[in-house]
């Protein structure tokens, strides 16, 4: 019996599918042997068949196995050649694409790229390098040293010893600045000796850096000047200045503050700020600082305990942020003399008020006494005049009545002389009785309201008396105070 290949095509197709899935020939043949052995065992276990028939089946199975093995081997070998050819063509295409891609990158980048052999002779330049080094391209045996303007020995010593990660700045044509990186080609291909020199144009960056450097130098110079101005003002100002940090420790203080306090920063920090700066209500100054937001201020009076005594200061506290750290400035002036004058004025004012009260009481007593004397005088005059009038009434003789009348007039003049001060001026004498009383109260320092209460009249009546008094005294200037005028002239 001969096995026909077409009868085995289903089995061959199964082998192809496994081959395409990546199954190797050895693995597939091992599986196929297992299947054949299983079939043979099954045939051997058959009963009811002649030995000759069983032997025939076994020979068929063997021939089928041998034929399949040949077909499988052929399939794997032919397919392997096809696959290798396909892979080779695919690799060639990929290499061509990669070469084109990297060639495009090589020619398209703006960096200057120079490929050299192991001696530094130029093998290839990209488009940017050809354009930049155009004037050198006509020379034969062109070396990279010619392009970079240095000798090869110096170049190899300076650059070829660099690692692939090292970079170095160089200057070409005086004003063009490049960042140079050198890579060895033997890391790409072992048998290829040479280098790739990459020059990245950093002229703009260098110029910008120089401009920034000049700007930084300018700003630094201005900061130095500002610092000197600040230090000059800080040291020479007559106001004391403390600078506290976020922990309320003295960061620095000017000379005026140190002279006033009489202690250095370390001594003050040992004491604690609340022990030498006290608010009028007795609380510490740290409460004020804690409640201050950045760029906000607080102003008020504080007590400052110095090494010798306690003084009063007028202080301004400002909160500020410096590089994410909070600081507080306290600027103060000594107002102890002003406070002492203030206390002295308050004391003198209190004494004047007490004297004024005493004077008012004395004047009131004098006026009460004067009023009593007037009443007694009126009573005495009334008694004297009544007796004389009675005599006139009863006397019939003309001469006697005339004499009595003359005596009455003399008596009345004597009463008038006793009532009025002989040294008073004509102006004061021109006042009415009510105006005289009001004028005496004004001289004693009573207000219009107080005089109205004393005399049991309205304030308008007192104001009318005041106008009449000013008119009779000839006071036309409204700037002249009636109290001052009366006190100094009468």
Using one digit for the tens of pLDDT, what is the confidence trace for 411-430? 666 655 555 544 445 566 67
The predicted pLDDT at position 191 comes to 63
pTM score of the predicted model: 0.41
User: What would the 3-class secondary structure string for the chain be?
Assistant: CCCCHHHHHHHHHHHHHHHHCCCCHHHHHHHHHHHHHHHHHHHHCCCCCCHHHHHHHHHHHHHHHHHHHHHHHHHHHHHHHHHHHHHHHHHHHHHHHHHHHHHHHHHHCCCEEEEEECCCEEEEECHHHHHHCHHHCCCCCCEHHHHHCCCHHHHHHHHHCCCCCCCEEEEECCCEEEEEEEEEHHHCCCCCCEEEEEEEECHHHHHHHHHHHHHHHHHHHHHHHHHHHHHHHHHHCCCEEEEECCCCCEEEECHHHHHHHCCCHHHHHHHCHHHHEEECCCCECHHHHHCCCCCCEEEEEEEEECCCCEEEEEEEEEEEEECCEEEEEEEEEECHHHHHHHHHHHHHHHHHHHHHHHHHHHHHHHHHHHHHHHHHHHHHHHHHHHHHHHHHHHCCCHHHHHHHHHHHHHHHHHHHHHHCCCCCCHHHHCCCHHHHHHHHHHHCCCCHHHHHHHHCCCHHHHHHHHHHHHHHCCCCCCCCCHHHHHHHHC
Q: What is the mean pLDDT of residues 5-29?
A: 75
Domain check: are 348 and 443 in the same one?
Answer: yes
pLDDT in tens, 340-362: 888 888 888 888 888 878 877 87
From 174-188, 373-387, 443-457, the region with the lowest mean pLDDT:
373-387
| Separation between Cα atoms, residue 285 and residue 248, nearest integer Å | 10
Q: What is the pLDDT of residue 412?
A: 64
The reply to whether 297 falls in a domain is yes
Domain end, chosen from 283, 302, 334, is at: 334
What was the pLDDT predicted at 464?
A: 92
Residues 38 and 82 in one domain: yes
pLDDT surpassing 80 at residue 448: yes
76 and 114 housed in the same domain:
no
Residue 484: inside a domain: yes
> pLDDT for 274-297, tens place per residue?
888 888 777 778 888 888 888 888
Structure tokens at 307: 């090494």
Q: Which of 148, 183, 201 is the last residue of a domain?
A: 201
DSSP H or E stretch at residue 169: strand 168-172
Is the residue at 213 inside a domain?
no
CATH number of the domain residue 268 falls in: 3.30.450.20
164 and 297 co-located in one domain: no
Q: How many domains does the chain have?
A: 4
Q: State whether 387 and 481 are in the same domain.
A: yes
The CATH number assigned to the domain holding 391 equals 1.10.10.10
Quickly tell me which residue has 């140079």 as its tokens.
180
In a domain, 473, yes or no: yes
pLDDT in tens, 223-264: 888 888 877 887 778 888 888 888 888 888 888 888 888 888
How much is the pLDDT for 2? 46
Q: Checking DSSP bridges between strand 122-125 and strand 277-279, what pairing results, if any? A: unpaired
Q: How confident is the model over 361-384, as a mean pLDDT?
A: 74
Is 384 domain-assigned?
yes
Query: Is residue 330 one of the residues assigned to a domain?
Result: yes
What does the pLDDT look like over 33-89, one tens digit per residue?
888 888 888 887 777 777 787 788 888 888 887 888 788 777 777 665 666 566 667
Per residue in 305-352, pLDDT (tens digit) is: 888 888 888 899 999 888 788 899 989 888 888 888 888 888 888 888
Domain boundary among 306, 334, 362: 334
**Considering the domain boundaries, does residue 215 fall inside one?**
no
Residue 161 has pLDDT above 70, yes or no: no
Q: Are residues 355 and 482 in the same domain?
A: yes
In a domain, 221, yes or no: no
Structural domain harbouring 255: 237-334
Residues 385 and 483 in one domain: yes
Say if residue 374 is in the same domain as residue 303.
Answer: no
Q: Do 46 and 160 fall within a single domain?
A: no
Min mean pLDDT across 16-25, 122-131, 332-341 is at 16-25
- pLDDT tier at 152 (50, 70, 90 boundaries)? low
* Pair (362, 484) in one structural domain: yes
Are 372 and 449 part of one and the same domain?
yes
pLDDT score, position 1: 43
Percent of the chain predicted with pLDDT > 70: 82
| β partners of residue 169 | 179
Residues 151 and 176 in one domain: yes
């Amino acid at each position: 019996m001969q096995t026909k290949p077409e009868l085995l095509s289903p089995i061959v197709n199964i082998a192809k599918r496994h081959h395409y899935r990546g199954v190797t020939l050895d693995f597939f043949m091992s599986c196929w042997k297992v299947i054949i052995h299983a079939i043979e065992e099954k045939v051997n276990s058959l009963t009811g068949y002649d030995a000759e028939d069983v032997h025939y089946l076994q020979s068929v199975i063997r021939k089928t196995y041998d034929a399949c093995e040949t077909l499988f081997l052929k399939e794997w070998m032919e397919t392997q050649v096809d696959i290798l050819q396909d892979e080779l063509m695919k690799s060639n295409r990929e290499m061509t694409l990669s070469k084109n891609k990297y060639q495009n990158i090589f020619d398209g980048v703006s960096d200057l790229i120079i490929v050299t052999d192991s001696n530094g002779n130029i093998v290839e330049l990209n488009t940017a390098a050809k354009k930049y080094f155009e004037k050198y391209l006509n020379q034969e045996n062109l070396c990279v040293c010619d392009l970079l303007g240095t000798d090869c020995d110096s170049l190899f010593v300076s650059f070829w010893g660099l690692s692939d990660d090292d970079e170095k700045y160089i200057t070409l044509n005086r004003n063009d600045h490049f960042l140079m990186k050198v890579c060895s080609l033997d890391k790409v291909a072992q048998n290829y000796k040479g280098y790739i020199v990459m020059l990245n144009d950093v002229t703009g960056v260098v110029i910008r850096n120089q401009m920034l450097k000049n700007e930084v130098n300018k700003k630094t110079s201005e900061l130095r000047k500002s610092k000197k101005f600040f230090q000059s003002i800080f040291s020479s100002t007559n106001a004391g200045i403390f600078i506290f940090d976020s922990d309320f420790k003295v960061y620095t203080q000017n000379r005026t503050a140190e002279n006033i306090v009489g202690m250095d920063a370390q001594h003050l920090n040992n004491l604690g700020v609340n022990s030498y700066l006290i608010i009028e209500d007795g609380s510490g100054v740290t409460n004020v600082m804690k409640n201050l937001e950045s760029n906000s201020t607080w102003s008020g009076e504080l007590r400052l305990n110095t090494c010798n005594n306690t003084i009063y200061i007028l202080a301004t506290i400002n909160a500020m942020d410096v590089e994410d750290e909070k600081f507080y400035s306290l600027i103060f002036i000594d107002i102890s003399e002003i406070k002492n004058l203030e206390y002295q004025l308050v004391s003198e004012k209190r004494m004047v008020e007490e004297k004024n009260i005493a004077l008012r009481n004395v004047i009131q007593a004098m006026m009460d006494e004067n009023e009593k004397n007037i009443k007694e005088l009126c009573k005495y005059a009334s008694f004297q005049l009544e007796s004389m009038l009675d005599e006139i009434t009863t006397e019939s003789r003309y001469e006697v009545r005339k004499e009595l009348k003359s005596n009455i007039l003399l008596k009345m003049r004597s009463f008038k002389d006793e009532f009025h001060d002989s040294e008073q001026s004509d102006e004061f004498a021109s006042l009415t009785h009510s105006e005289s009383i009001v004028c005496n109260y004004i001289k004693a320092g009573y207000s219009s309201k107080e005089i109205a209460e004393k005399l049991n009249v309205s304030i308008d009546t007192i104001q009318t008396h005041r106008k009449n008094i000013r008119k009779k005294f000839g006071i036309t200037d409204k700037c002249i105070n009636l109290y001052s005028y009366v006190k100094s002239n009468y």
